[in-house]
Amino acid sequence: MMSKSRCLAGCVVLLVGSALVWAAQAAPDAAANKEKERQLIAVLRSDAPPAEKAITCKRLAVYGSQEAVPALTPLLFDKELSSWARIALEVIPGPAADAALRNALGTAQGRLLVGIINSIAVRRDVEAVNALAEKLKDSDPEVASAAAVALGSIGGAAAVKILEPALADVPALVRPAVAEGCILCAEKSLAAGQSAEAVRLYDLVRRATLPKQRLLEATRGAILARGPAGIALLAEQLESPDKAQFGIGLRTARELEGQEVTQALAVEMNRLSPVRQPLLLLALADRRDAAVLPLVLKTAGGGPKALRVTALEVLVRLGNVSCVPVLLAAAAEEDAELAGTARQTLIHLPGAEVDADLLARLPQATGKTRQVLIDLAGQRQIDGALAAIRSGLQDADAGIRGAAVQAIGVMGEAGQLADLVQLLQKSPSPRERADVEKALLAISGRWGASCVPPLQALLQSSDTTLRTVGLHGMAVAGGPEALAAVKAALADKNETIQDEAARTLSTWPNNWPADEAAAEALLQLAKSEQKVLHQVLGLRGYLEYVRGDKKLNNAAKVAKVRELLPLMPRPEEKRLAISVVGAVRTAGALELLTTLASDPAVAEDACAAIVSLTGRGLPGASRQQRQKALETVVEKSKNDATRKKAEEGLKEIR
């Protein structure tokens, strides 16, 4: 047994096997590498502990040559080090490693033998075929199975000659591995252009008594190896009542190449049940030949609804400008599912020529088609469509106006805000106003401060609803001018506008460096004593600013919350403060939470936060601080689970 110190030394060697150490050793200096190999071989021949020999094997995987093979070979029979030795032997070039593994076949037993066979398989050692044939007869099914798969990995006529009769002869436990070997040989034959031999092997496996999965693999191979002549066998799978066979049929329908195959599958689709038809259509759509598109397009144009929906959907992947008429007609249909599917496909259908086609149709289109085209122009952000979309804002048809509003929201710039403001001012419909507001906010969010001037027009309106929309727009646009406008609205004569300005300010985004001033305004609001609602909104907004501002360090966050606490009479805000402080992993946060735990209104929240914080490790918090906080939890909390966690934490500390 190795001494503890030696073992530890070995561990150190292994764990420091980092990039730098290895990289230094991997300098492309042949002489240095040779010397390194010599030293590594010496380790293997010494009485070094297994840990050291293990890492040495790994290094020999990089630096070893055939000279290392004699030192590695004895380890093949060591149950602790065999797998390490094979790491090197599997990759060392040259016949010496092959010979060592082959020779070991005669001596090794059980799992070690299985490993050696597996390594021979990886090296594809043709000279091992006869020895593997012997192992195929081994009474241990794991050994025989490994030999079968190894023969398959090596492949060739000699391997086939052994595997073919074995398919009938071997015990049932080994047969799946022999089948795997045959399938591997078939794959090699196919890759070498010997498709007849591949078909023969696949068919051989298909006729054997095997687990279903192996039969499915052979079936797939048999179809693909036959090429277009495999259609009949493929159809057999698709028509099979067996779910797994139908499944492999769907899979193979995607792989078997050729337009004649596509045509045959289209005919086959008509023979299937309504439930299976869409599944085959999906498979067809995954094929990549010219026969697919006309077929799918025809299906999309008419027929059973389920199939149409599928066809309309898959056109997105294989369609082109020629599909636009069919899709457009479907998108204008009454059936919501058909129309929605067609719309989605038109939105994503690739190609600049599709944009051009849609754009060309827009001027003369009317009714539902015009609505669809405007919607698509916006969704696809078609350059040059803006004029037509803007004209849609004046349309008498509410549907067309709605599509135009949405499209401008998606692709409009600050310049289009005036159009929206105008529509907002004259629209009596609350729904339309809501849609316009959405579009207006979307543009403001994208184009920021440049949107402030047109938004000012709204703030100057006499209509309170419009002024409210203007405030919302300012918050989304952001920047000093927008902030100033909202702050000014806090002093408005209209109380509704004051309240909305306070609400807007309380949800002001705080991640824009230009809007840091929002924090100060929120603090002022929190300290104002005019209206409780404003104070509450100010507090909440300021706390969210403290939580979200990435420039505030942890200490500043805790200090700001502490400063604010006297302004918080209500438990609701205190709870928000606890959630902000509870996310700050510092001793200061722990201390503040411990203080808050003494407030009966929020004690439970503070206790839960303390437990969570102490459980995640607290840089800078002393043992005493953690102990005191957890003791407070044990004393104050009425929640069994929280108390239990605190007690566990205390146990760890003590």
Distance CA 152, CA 147 (A): 9
Q: Among residues 88 and 489, whose Cβ is nearest to another protein?
A: 88
Distance CA 561, CA 595 (A): 13
Contact flag: residue 252 with another protein (CB under 8 A):
yes
Residue 175 and residue 167 in contact, taking contact as beta carbons nearer than 8 Å: yes
Provide, rounded to whole angstroms, the least separation between the CB of residue 79 and another protein.
7
Contact flag: residue 309 with another protein (CB under 8 A):
yes
Cα distance between the two ends of the chain: 38
- Region of 284 (left: φ > 0; alpha: ψ -120 to 50; beta: rest) is alpha
Stretch near another protein under the rule CB under 8 A, chosen from 35-43, 87-95, 388-396, 628-636: 87-95
Within 8 A by CB and 6+ apart from 301, the residues are 308, 326, 329, 330
Q: Among residues 15 and 491, whose Cβ is nearest to another protein?
A: 15
Provide, rounded to whole angstroms, the least separation between the CB of residue 603 and another protein.
30
Among 40, 69, 234, 283, binds another protein (CB under 8 A): 283
Distance CA 58, CA 44 (A): 12
Residue whose token pair is 């005493």? 624
Return the residues of window 257-276 that contact another protein according to CB under 8 A.
Answer: 273-275
Return the residues of window 95-124 that contact another protein according to CB under 8 A.
Answer: 111-112, 114-116, 118-119, 121-122
Contact flag: residue 619 with another protein (CB under 8 A):
no
Q: Among residues 230 and 538, whose Cβ is nearest to another protein?
A: 230
> What phi and psi values does residue 540 have, to the nearest 5 degrees?
-65, -45
Residue 64 and residue 90 in contact, taking contact as beta carbons nearer than 8 Å: no
Contact flag: residue 567 with another protein (CB under 8 A):
no
Q: Among residues 5 and 624, whose Cβ is nearest to another protein?
A: 5
| N residues, the chain | 654
Q: Among residues 202 and 542, whose Cβ is nearest to another protein?
A: 202
Contact flag: residue 208 with another protein (CB under 8 A):
no
Q: Among residues 52 and 499, whose Cβ is nearest to another protein?
A: 52
Residue 531 and residue 567 in contact, taking contact as beta carbons nearer than 8 Å: no
Contact flag: residue 522 with another protein (CB under 8 A):
no
Contact flag: residue 323 with another protein (CB under 8 A):
no
Residue 55 and residue 10 in contact, taking contact as beta carbons nearer than 8 Å: yes
Residue 271 and residue 239 in contact, taking contact as beta carbons nearer than 8 Å: yes
Among 99, 158, 356, 410, binds another protein (CB under 8 A): 410
Among 80, 257, 520, 563, binds another protein (CB under 8 A): 80
Provide, rounded to whole angstroms, the least separation between the CB of residue 547 and another protein.
15
Return the residues of window 342-401 that contact another protein according to CB under 8 A.
Answer: 348-351, 379, 381
Distance CA 191, CA 580 (A): 63
Give whole-number Cα distances, 343 to 278, 336, 372, 436, in Å: 19, 10, 8, 22
In the DSSP assignment, the letter for residue 1 is -
Return the residues of window 115-174 that contact another protein according to CB under 8 A.
Answer: 115-116, 118-119, 121-122, 142, 146, 149
Return the residues of window 214-243 that contact another protein according to CB under 8 A.
Answer: 216-217, 220-221, 241-243
Q: Among residues 64 and 588, whose Cβ is nearest to another protein?
A: 64
